[in-house]
């Protein structure tokens, strides 16, 4: 597969590619990147769980939780966002709890549940590109 040097190079390239995507993304694209990363990370956690790779499972689930809490939940404005922000906040909290249970109990079903809950949110978000408030549109 990869040697340790080429593995590090591949990781550095991937990190640089992600950073470049983030540097040039508008707010809508940033959230899209977070949603895509969340679903990918949950998929990676599932594969690690199926393979019995506990350290990788824990890393991927931890990353998914960070995406939910720091990337998606923290920026929500519960005062200005009204019911939508409140509902998203509750959904993200529930997903974090399910991911924690998936990690502790090795529950693939909990990972699948979080993916299924997030997929319509991700799909809806992608459909509104360019249709939201001005602060979400590219400059």
For residue 59, what is the domain's CATH number?
Answer: 1.20.120.340
pTM: 0.79
pLDDT-derived band at 111 (thresholds 50, 70, 90) equals very high
pLDDT value at 117 more than 80: yes
Nearest CA to 49 out of 96, 103, 112, 115 is that of: 103
pLDDT in tens, 67-110: 999 999 999 999 999 999 999 999 999 999 999 999 999 999 99
pLDDT-derived band at 1 (thresholds 50, 70, 90) equals very low
Joined together, the tokens standing for residue 47 give 């594969």
- 135 in any annotated domain: no
- 18 in any annotated domain: no
- 138 in any annotated domain: no
- 139 in any annotated domain: no
What stretch of H or E contains 8?
A: helix 4-23
Instruction: Read off the pLDDT of each residue in 19-37 and give the average, rounded to a whole number.
Output: 80
**Domain that includes residue 71, residue range:** 26-126
What local confidence, expressed as pLDDT, does residue 27 receive? 84
- 122 in any annotated domain: yes
Task: Please tell me which residue, 48 or 13, carries the higher pLDDT value.
Answer: 48
Domain count, the chain: 1
């Amino acid at each position: 597969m990869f040697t340790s040097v080429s593995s590090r190079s591949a990781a550095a390239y991937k990190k640089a590619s992600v950073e470049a995507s983030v540097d040039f993304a508008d707010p809508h694209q940033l959230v899209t990147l977070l949603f895509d990363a969340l679903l990918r990370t949950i998929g990676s956690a599932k594969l690690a769980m199926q393979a019995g790779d506990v350290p990788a499972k824990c890393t991927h689930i931890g990353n998914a939780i960070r995406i939910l809490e720091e990337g998606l939940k923290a920026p929500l404005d519960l005062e200005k966002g009204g019911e939508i922000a409140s509902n998203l906040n509750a959904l993200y909290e529930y997903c974090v709890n399910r991911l924690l249970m998936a990690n502790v109990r090795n529950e693939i079903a909990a990972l699948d549940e979080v993916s299924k809950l997030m997929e319509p949110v991700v799909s809806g978000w992608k459909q509104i590109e360019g249709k939201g408030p001005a602060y979400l549109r590219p400059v």
